């Protein structure tokens, strides 16, 4: 017979599941996939289906050894069910969102109680980037979840005095899945975090030698079997390619993704609003408790700083590189709220002030963005944007309906409700008002605003390559990197061995017509260098050309 507590747990899980389905699944296909990562992974899944080779990740039908296949396999399964489209590419992460929130709730309620678990869920789902990533088609949500689960299983191992091989095996299994999702960097992050945790705790955790052996065996089997299969197929360089790629990320600004030293500090502070603010009293103060709670608290604190410092050192700066911090950051925020660190002393005023400042900046940004059509002519005429490409993108004709500011008004209502309740010392109600409003705001913004923002950035390119996708032709972008022509142009694995060489497509004896896209900055130079090109049209900062096939008699 179920107790009252069991019923409450069951109802909470059901409620979280239903709300996750409502927030994460609708409108997944409402906007085109974004270059680069979303289109990159979706294209790899499409090419797996096209070739029927499900062991090799490809881009433009060339082996792509930078990423293992687990997430691509998820997308392949989704595309088999829903078709090759945006919804299918993003659906695996919607499922990840549902599972992640259930994991957070049940981890939190086992660690502390149901209320703490619900706090953690609200902070994760109610923060900007964590919410948006579950409606994306990138690898990181699953990668982060697997690493978090591996660390949680190691915590259970520590809690059970190192006597259970079950938890060691489970931890190794999840790290193996993370390796199979994004590569050996998963084990690097896990190993660094655990090593630092053990050093801080003076190696008081009892780790048995047989458990280490079992851990390595499970990890090798789970994370390494795809690499082994590749080697058996004769792809002996796969591991070396992975290592070279990871080294390049540390030493160079990969693919032009550079940034200043504290890039990820800013990303986490602004992007994980409001959880980042609620976590400050713990991050900059003290929040530990004795017993097993302190152990997990310490693990989360170590994980946060390991990921943040590691990707601060890495020279390639991409927003989602620090996304693993979302788990410990929202945990620390829930901890601060649960233990009332935010409600006392000078932290009460700091949390209130920072929440209002960041919240109102976000509201103003959203409201100005929805009114861009009314003042974009002034921006152009006053030459506030020097780049010709950016100016041309801004001049795109976008169908703003007039009711898009609703998203900003929802957020403003949440911020206002928070400010009022906080000032009345109803701190928990203020927190609940804000974190319950945030998912509604983000859901509305995804539906009303994101598709219109996409119209300024890449829609012209997507529409062009979609329009020529049924033709047996070569497709290429010139002067900028993109995967749009591959996925939306439904690129074929052309038989000509030089079909993937840009210079051959531009100047060689092509046997099929070729279509090119380039940015307006290079238009005149391109016309001079390639007088045989037919200028098709220019739109939103992009110029499109066609080169006819050369018939050799």
* Angstrom distance (rounded) from CA 177 to CA 259: 30
Closest CA to 104 of 135, 126, 88, 75: 126
* Angstrom distance (rounded) from CA 142 to CA 221: 19
Span 123-128, average pLDDT: 96
- Give the pLDDT score at 1: 55
Angle at Cα 468 formed by Cα 462 and Cα 472, nearest 5°?
Answer: 135
Q: Give the three-class secondary structure for 193.
A: helix
DSSP code per residue over 36-54: THHHHHHHHHHHHHHH---
Cβ atoms of residues 449 and 370 within 8 Å: yes
Span 103-112, average pLDDT: 95
* Angstrom distance (rounded) from CA 217 to CA 291: 31
The backbone region for 68, taken as left when phi is positive above 0, alpha when psi lies in -120 to 50, beta otherwise, is: beta
Q: Torsion angle of alpha carbons 69, 39, 317, 438, nearest 10°?
A: -100
Q: Count CB atoms within 10 A of the CB of residue 442.
A: 24
Query: pLDDT by residue (tens digit) across 458-472?
Result: 999 999 999 999 999
- Give the pLDDT score at 291: 59
Query: What distances in angstroms separate CA 246 from CA 146, 255, 310, one per listed residue?
Result: 19, 13, 12
- Give the pLDDT score at 225: 83
- Give the pLDDT score at 417: 96
Query: What distances in angstroms separate CA 6 from CA 13, 46, 451, one per listed residue?
Result: 11, 44, 43
Tokens of 459: 């829609």
Closest CA to 538 of 550, 553, 527, 549: 527
Strands of 542-547's sheet, edge to edge? 474-478, 514-519, 542-547, 534-539
Q: Count CB atoms within 10 A of the CB of residue 156.
A: 17
- Give the pLDDT score at 19: 95
DSSP code per residue over 105-118: HHHHHHHT-HHHHH
* Angstrom distance (rounded) from CA 144 to CA 124: 13
Cβ atoms of residues 314 and 321 within 8 Å: yes
Query: pLDDT by residue (tens digit) across 8-27?
Result: 999 999 999 999 999 999 99
Span 207-211, average pLDDT: 85
Closest CA to 268 of 323, 313, 200: 323
Span 49-57, average pLDDT: 92
* Angstrom distance (rounded) from CA 298 to CA 328: 10
- Give the pLDDT score at 90: 97
pLDDT above 70 coverage of the chain, percent = 93
Span 395-420, average pLDDT: 93
Bridge partners for 284 per DSSP: none
Report the predicted TM-score, pTM, of the whole model to 2 decimal places. 0.93
Tokens of 454: 């996409």
- Give the pLDDT score at 553: 44
Query: pLDDT by residue (tens digit) across 472-524?
Result: 999 999 998 999 999 999 999 887 878 888 899 999 999 899 999 999 999 99
Span 79-91, average pLDDT: 97
pLDDT band at 379 (very low <50, low <70, confident <90, very high): confident
* 96-100, 103-107, 384-388, range with the lowest pLDDT: 384-388
Q: Is the pLDDT of residue 239 over 70?
A: no
Q: Is the pLDDT of residue 245 over 80?
A: no
Q: Give the three-class secondary structure for 477.
A: strand
- Give the pLDDT score at 534: 94
Q: Give the three-class secondary structure for 535.
A: strand
Cβ atoms of residues 28 and 86 within 8 Å: yes
* Angstrom distance (rounded) from CA 388 to CA 463: 21
Query: pLDDT by residue (tens digit) across 268-315?
Result: 999 999 999 999 999 887 655 555 678 899 999 999 999 999 999 887
Q: Give the three-class secondary structure for 326.
A: helix
Average pLDDT score, the chain: 89
Q: Is the pLDDT of residue 404 over 80?
A: yes
> What's the Rg (C-alpha) of the chain?
25
- What's the distance, Cα to Cα, between the start and end of the chain in Å? 85
Span 187-210, average pLDDT: 87
Q: Is the pLDDT of residue 35 over 60?
A: yes
Q: Count CB atoms within 10 A of the CB of residue 48.
A: 21
- Give the pLDDT score at 246: 61
- Give the pLDDT score at 131: 95
Determine whether 428 is exposed, middle or buried from the number of CB atoms within 10 Å of its CB (0-12, 13-18, 19+): middle
* Angstrom distance (rounded) from CA 283 to CA 230: 44
Q: Which residue has the tokens 């506030």?
A: 384
| Residue predicted with more confidence, 89 or 496 | 89
Tokens of 385: 């944007």
The backbone region for 161, taken as left when phi is positive above 0, alpha when psi lies in -120 to 50, beta otherwise, is: left
Bridge partners for 59 per DSSP: 62
Peptide bond between residue 36 and the one before it cis (omega within 30 degrees of 0): yes
pLDDT band at 78 (very low <50, low <70, confident <90, very high): very high
* Angstrom distance (rounded) from CA 145 to CA 94: 13
Q: Is the pLDDT of residue 256 over 70?
A: no
Pairing mode, if any, of strands 514-519 and 474-478?
A: parallel
- Give the pLDDT score at 267: 94
User: What phi and psi values does residue 80 have, to the nearest 5 degrees?
Assistant: -65, -30
Query: pLDDT by residue (tens digit) across 315-336?
Result: 777 888 899 999 999 999 999 9
CB-side neighbour CA atoms (13 Å) of 422: 27
Q: Count CB atoms within 10 A of the CB of residue 234.
A: 7
- Helix (H) / strand (E) element for 515: namely strand 514-519
Q: Is the pLDDT of residue 249 over 70?
A: no
Q: Is the pLDDT of residue 169 over 70?
A: yes
């Amino acid at each position: 017979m179920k107790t009252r507590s069991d019923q409450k747990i069951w109802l909470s899980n059901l409620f979280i599941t239903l709300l996750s389905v409502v927030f994460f699944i609708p409108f997944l296909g409402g906007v085109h996939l974004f270059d680069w990562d979303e289109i990159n992974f979706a294209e790899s899944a499409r090419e797996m289906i096209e070739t029927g080779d499900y062991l090799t990740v490809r881009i433009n039908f060339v082996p792509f050894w930078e990423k293992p296949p687990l997430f691509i396999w998820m997308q392949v399964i989704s595309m088999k069910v829903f078709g090759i489209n945006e919804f299918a590419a993003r659906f695996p992460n919607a499922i990840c969102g549902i599972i992640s929130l259930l994991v957070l709730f049940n981890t939190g309620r086992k660690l502390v109680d149901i209320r703490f678990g619900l706090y953690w869920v609200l902070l994760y789902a109610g923060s900007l980037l964590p919410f948006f990533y579950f409606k994306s088609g990138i690898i990181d949500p699953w990668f982060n979840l697997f690493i978090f689960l591996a660390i949680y299983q190691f915590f259970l191992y520590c809690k059970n005095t190192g006597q259970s091989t079950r938890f060691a095996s489970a931890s190794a299994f999840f790290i193996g899945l993370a390796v199979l999702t994004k590569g050996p960097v998963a084990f690097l992050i896990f190993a660094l975090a655990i090593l630092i945790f053990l050093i801080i705790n003076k190696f008081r955790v009892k780790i048995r030698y047989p458990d280490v052996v079992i851990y390595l065996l499970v990890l090798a089997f789970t994370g390494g079997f795809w690499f082994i299969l590749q080697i058996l197929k004769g792809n002996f360089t796969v591991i070396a390619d992975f290592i070279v790629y990871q080294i390049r990320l540390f030493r160079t600004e990969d693919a032009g993704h550079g940034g200043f030293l504290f890039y990820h500090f800013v990303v986490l502070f602004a992007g994980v609003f409001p959880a980042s603010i609620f976590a400050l009293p713990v991050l900059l103060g003290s929040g530990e408790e004795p017993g097993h709670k302190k152990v997990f608290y310490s693990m989360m604190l170590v994980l946060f700083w390991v990921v943040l410092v590691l990707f601060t050192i890495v020279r390639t700066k991409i927003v989602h590189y620090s996304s693993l911090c979302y788990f410990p950051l929202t945990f620390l925020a829930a901890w601060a709220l649960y233990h009332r660190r935010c409600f006392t002393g000078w932290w009460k005023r700091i949390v209130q002030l920072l929440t209002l400042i960041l919240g109102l900046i976000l509201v103003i940004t959203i409201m100005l963005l929805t009114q861009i059509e009314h003042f974009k002519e002034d921006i152009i005429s006053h030459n506030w944007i020097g780049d010709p490409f950016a100016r041309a993108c801004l001049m795109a004709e976008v169908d703003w309906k007039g009711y898009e500011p609703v998203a900003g008004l929802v957020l403003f209502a949440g911020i206002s409700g928070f400010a009022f309740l906080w000032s009345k010392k109803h701190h928990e109600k203020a927190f609940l008002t804000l974190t319950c409003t945030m998912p509604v705001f983000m859901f509305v913004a995804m539906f009303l605003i994101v598709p219109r923002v996409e119209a300024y950035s890449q829609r012209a390119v997507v529409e062009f390559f979609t329009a020529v996708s049924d033709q047996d032709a070569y497709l290429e972008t010139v002067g900028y990197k993109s995967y749009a022509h591959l996925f939306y142009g439904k690129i074929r694995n052309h038989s000509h061995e030089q079909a993937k060489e840009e210079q051959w497509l531009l100047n060689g004896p092509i046997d099929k017509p070729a279509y090119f896209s380039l940015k307006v900055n290079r238009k005149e130079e391109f016309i001079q260098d390639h007088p045989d090109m037919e200028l098709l049209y220019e739109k939103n900062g992009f110029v499109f050309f066609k080169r006819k096939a050369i018939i050799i008699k």
